[in-house]
Structure 1
């Protein structure tokens, strides 16, 4: 097996953290949404992000990366992870107003920042082809979710 670079390990850890945060954020958003169809869709996105985190943890483990080491985030990836976290934290304040469009806007922002983190991860030095494939697939699904969120806003 090829040696995994620190950048690749950080990319995995960042993406796991971003997806775990996104899963929680989408669940909170679903709880705050009035529209039953939107509530269901946001719950599905929450489950999707939890699945992504699980897939990344499993693959990281195959490469000998301990994805539980959440303190390895550095550089631009730190900024991205922090921004995603702040974005999903902001959703709590929006939910208290019970405005579906505002909640969707926060979801859209969270996905935008997650996409940037995925794009950064794809640039990681020494990223194995199979890792790149999984990350590209997840990036595409997050992009589709973001586009769907955008279209759901009134």
Structure 2
């Protein structure tokens, strides 16, 4: 099956978003003081790493290698994500590792991820199997974001 550029970009961007999310959640887990929250954030980190792995596996079925392909949009996404990770570090340092402030940064990261998923779902000629995986992951990220919002309050 021939895959167009927008589908390849969707896979590349989502893999990058999830790899960044895994790192961000790991940093957040290390920054919070509440042991239960630390555990939940670490689980979210593992979830994002699993999402990236799942997307890479699906991409390879279509001859896409997200680790080796790079797009301008992907590079911009990666730069924004690196900046976001920096904010988590900065925010935890400035606020004395305030759990609510860190949760706020996680919430922002998830909002960014959801936007990337919604953009990916608009890719022209997205294969049905890819669309299904992307929709499922989007739903789980939305559930995580809602949980983070609830924990924050």
**TM-score relative to the length of structure 1:** 0.92
Runs of at least 5 residues in structure 2 that lack an aligned partner in the other structure: none
Kept in 2, the 8 Å contact 1:20–1:53? The answer is: yes
| CA displacement 1:96-117 (0-9 Å, x = unmatched) | 2210000000000000000000
Query: 1:84 touches 1:114 (CA, 8 Å); kept in 2?
Result: no
Distance 1:127 1:50 in 2: 22
Kindly report which structure 2 residues correspond to 1:4-153, keeping only aligned pairs within 5 A, or say none.
Answer: 4-74=3-73, 80-96=77-93, 97-153=96-152
Alpha-carbon deviations, 1:77-122, whole Å to 9, x = none?
A: 6655543332222101112221000000000000000000000000
Secondary structure of residue in 1 paired with 2:113: helix
SS at match of 2:134: helix
Aligned residue pairs total 151
Q: Show structure 1 runs of 5+ residues with no match.
A: none
Preserved CA contact (<8 Å) 1:29 1:42: yes
Q: Once superposed, what is the RMSD of the aligned Cα atoms?
A: 1.4
The 3-state SS of whatever aligns with 2:2 is: coil
87-96 or 104-113, which moves further after superposition?
A: 87-96
